[in-house]
Amino acid sequence: MGLPRLVCVFLLAACGCCRRVSGVPGEAEQPVPELVEVEVGHTALLRCGPSHSPGNLSHVEWFFIHKERKTLMFRVRQGQGHSEPGEYQHRLSLQDAGATLALTQVTPHDERVFVCQSKRPRLQEHHIQLRVFKAPEEPTIQANAVGIPVGSEELEEVATCVGRNGYPIPQVIWYKNGRPLQEEKNRIHIQSSQIVESSGLYTLQSVLKAQLVKEDKDAQFYCELNYRLPSGNHMKESREVTVPVFYPAEKVWLEVEPVGLLKEGDHVEIRCVSDGNPQPHFSIYKQNSNTKDMEEKSTTENGILILEPAQKQHSGLYECQGLDLETMLSLWSGPQELLVNYVSDVQVSPPAPESQEGDSLTLTCEAESNQDLEFQWLRAKTGQLLEKGPILQLDNLKREAGGGYLCVASVPSVPGLNSTQLVNVAIFGSPWMALKERKVWVKENTVLNLSCEASGYPRPTISWNANGTATEQDPDPQTVLSTLNVLVTPELLGTGAECTAFNSLGKNTTVITLELVTLTTLPPGFNQTTGPSTSAVSPHTRANSTSTEKKLPEPESKGVVIVAVIVCILVLAVLGAALYFFYKKGKMPCGRSGKQEITLPPSRKNEFVVEVKSDKPPEEMGLLQGNNGDKRAPGDQGEKYIDLRR
C-alpha cells in the first residue's frame, strides 16, 4: 500500500472520531420513547416529560411522526393551547396546567410516536410511543358440514375460525378435545390470514386442515383468540363443533325395542345397527321354523322391522345384513333370538253351563302359555274376585248366581300379560220382573216409551197389551229389555199398560199405571212442554215371581198439595166456628160504624189481638144478626177481633 493511500485512511478515521466527540447534530442516538397504552375509543394522556417544571411549559410544540416525518399538531403559548389544522384539530386539549395533552377517541391510526418540544430555556424534546389496543369480538367457528372421509391423502378442511375487529392482530390456537393442536407435516396445517378494515381494526381468519381418523367421529374442535389490552393478556373461545367423519363399517348387529321381556300386543321394533358412517343398506331376515331357511322380511324406508301387535308366531331367530353400496362389501350380524311371551286359548268347561236352583256347579279353566300361569275367577258384572286357581266351585245355586263369570289367566313374571274368557251360567227358572208395578205421569195425546225388563232361563219372551212399536235389547243372555213406543190415548189411560214375560217354565207381568198430569198434580221434574222427565220404566230392584206386589209411593208433590188444601180448609172452618161462637155469646158487638173494640179484662190488656177481615161482601156471607137483633147494613164490613192467646 502506498503512502498517499495510508494518509487518506488515517485522515478519514480521525475525522470520524472528531465528529463523534464533538456531537454533530443528527448523528446522536435517538432517545427511547415513553410508552403509553390505551384502548380504542378511550382518551390518551400524553405528558410532556416528567422532568419539566411548569415554568418550562409556557412555550411548547407538539408533533406526531408519520413515515419519519414530523408534523406540527399543537402549540402552547403562555399556557394557552392552539390546535393546528389537520386530523387532530378537534381531539386535543390541555390538562394538568399544560403538562398533559389529552387525545380523545383514540383509533388504531393513532398508534405512532408523538413529540413534545420545549424551547425555553433550551431546546428539549420528549418522545412518546402510543400503543393502541382493541379486544376482538367473540370468535365464530364454522365446521365442515360435508364431512371428511377417513384415509384421504390430502389434508381436509376441518373448520374455519373468524375473529373480527381486533387490534393488534390476535393470536389463534386450535384445540381438539381440549388439547392444543400444533403444525404437523402431512397431518395438521393451520392457515391464517387477516383483513384490515377501514377503521384500522383487523379481522382474522384461520383455517384448520387435518387428516382425521375413525376415532375423531366424536371429537370436539374449537378455536381460541389470545390478545393483549393495557390491563394484561386475555383470551376468548369459540363454541365446540364436531365434524362428520366417514369410515366403512366393520360389524353390524340387531337392536330390539322395547328392551326386556316382550308380550303379545306390544309394539316391537327391530333395527340393524353398524359401526360405520354412513350406515350401510340393511336387510333383516327371519328363520323359517319349518324349512330353517332365512327369509327376508319387509322393512320401512329406514330399514326397521315393525311388529304391531307382536304375536307368538313372531318369536324366532333374526339376522341382519349390511351392504356397503360403495365397496359392495357385505357384513352379517350373528343370529339373535326374539321371544314373544303369550297366553292363548283360554277355555272354560263346561262352555255353556246350566243348572237348577239348589244344585252345585264346577267350572274349570285352561290356557296355553310359554310361561307359568296363574288363574283367577271374577264376577263379570261386579268385578268381584271369587276364587284363585283354575277351578271355581258354585254350591247351592240360586237365581242370583246366574250370569257372567270371567276366568283370567295371567303370567306373573311378565307384567301385563293376561287373557280372559267369559262364560255365562244359566239357572233354570220362570221369568223375573225387574218391577212388578209402576206409575207413570203422562199427558194425553203424547208419545212415550215404556220399558219392561225380565230375566230367566230359558230366555223369556215379552209381550204387551197395548198397541205400539216394541224393540228389544239383550243386556245378557238371560235378560230381555223391551221398550214400547206408544201414543197416550183415553183408552190407554183407562186400562194402563201391561207387559208379560214368559218361557217354558212360567210367566210374570209388570203393570204400568198411567196418571194424567194436571196443573194441580204436577210430579217432580215434569216439564209442561215436554211431559214427564222420564217415561221409561228402568229396573232398580228385582221382584221375583213369588214376591208380593209393591205399591210405589205417589210422587211427593201431589201429597204436599193435598195436605196443604186440607189444612187450609180446616183453618177456615175453625175461624168460621169461632166467629159464630162469639156472635152467639154476644161478645162481638158490631154496629154500622165499622170497627168496635172488644173490651178485655185488665189482666189481658197487654195480650196480642188479631184482626180478621173478610173480603166477601155481606151479600155472600149472609146478614149477621147483632145483639139487638138488627141486621147489618150492606156497607158494614163486619170486622171482628179474636184473641188467639186463649
Beta pairing partners, 206:
161, 192
- Separation between Cα atoms, residue 537 and residue 532, nearest integer Å: 12
Q: Over the stretch 195-242, which tens digit does the pLDDT of each residue have?
A: 999 999 999 999 999 999 999 999 999 999 999 999 999 999 999 999
Cβ-contact 254, 336 below 8 angstroms:
yes
Cβ-contact 307, 247 below 8 angstroms:
no
Torsion angle in degrees (nearest 10) through CA of 157, 163, 167, 171: -50
- Separation between Cα atoms, residue 66 and residue 70, nearest integer Å: 7
Q: What is the 3-state secondary structure (H, E, C) of 309-370?
A: CCCHHHCEEEEEEEECCCCCCEEECCCEEECEECEEEEEEECCCCEECCCCCEEEEEEEEEC
In order, the DSSP letters of 87-126 are TTTTSEEEETTTTEEEE-S--GGG-SEEEEEE-SSS-EEE
pLDDT at 526: 53
pLDDT at 628: 41
Q: Among candidates 316, 314, 308, 315, which has minimal Cα distance to 265?
A: 308
pLDDT at 39: 97
Torsion angle in degrees (nearest 10) through CA of 9, 11, 13, 18: -170
The type of residue at 215 is: E
Residues of the chain falling short of pLDDT 70: 1-30, 50-56, 121, 519-561, 586-646
- Separation between Cα atoms, residue 272 and residue 266, nearest integer Å: 20
- Separation between Cα atoms, residue 402 and residue 354, nearest integer Å: 9
Rounded to the nearest 5 percent, the helix, strand and coil shares of the chain are: 15, 45, 45
- Separation between Cα atoms, residue 469 and residue 579, nearest integer Å: 62
- Separation between Cα atoms, residue 529 and residue 546, nearest integer Å: 40
Torsion angle in degrees (nearest 10) through CA of 410, 413, 415, 421: -10
Q: Among candidates 512, 511, 467, which has minimal Cα distance to 485?
A: 467
pLDDT at 588: 55
pLDDT at 600: 41
pLDDT at 48: 87
- Supply the DSSP symbol for 68: T
- Residue 100 has a CB neighbour count (10 Å cut-off) of 15
Give the global pTM.
0.55
Q: What are phi and psi of 62, to 5 degrees?
A: -110, 135
- Residue 368 has a CB neighbour count (10 Å cut-off) of 14
pLDDT at 122: 74
Q: What are phi and psi of 73, to 5 degrees?
A: -130, -15
